[in-house]
Amino acid sequence: LAPGPNGKSAPVVAAPAPVGDLADLLRAARLGEFEATFAAEKVGVADLVEARDAGDLGDLLADCGLKAGERARLKRELAKLRPVL
C-alpha cells in the first residue's frame, strides 16, 4: 500500500504492461505464429504505424499472409499501442 493524497494508505494499481516490440504486439493479437514471417519481411512496429498512417496497412498485412480476421485483430492491437493522431 502507498500513501494516498489524504495521507492514508491506498492500494497500488499497476498500469497495463506496454507493448514494447513487434513480438509483443503479435502475441497480444494472438498472432505469435507470424513472428518469423514479419522478421523475414523485415517489418517492425514503426513500419506498421507508417503503413497505417499512409492507408496501406491492410495491403502490408495481406502481403505477410494474414487473413482478414487476423488483420483486424492486429489493427485493433496497433490502435491500442499507437492511436491514430
Distance CA 25, CA 22 (A): 5
Is the entire prediction scored with pTM above 0.75? Answer: no
Comparison of pLDDT for 13 and 82, the residue scoring more: 82
pLDDT, average across residues 37-64: 95
Q: Work out whether the CA dihedral 41, 45, 47, 49 comes out positive or negative.
A: positive
- The three three-digit cell numbers of residue 57, written as one number: 496497412
Strands (E), the chain: 2-3, 9-10
Q: How confident is the model at residue 9 (pLDDT cuts 50, 70, 90)?
A: low
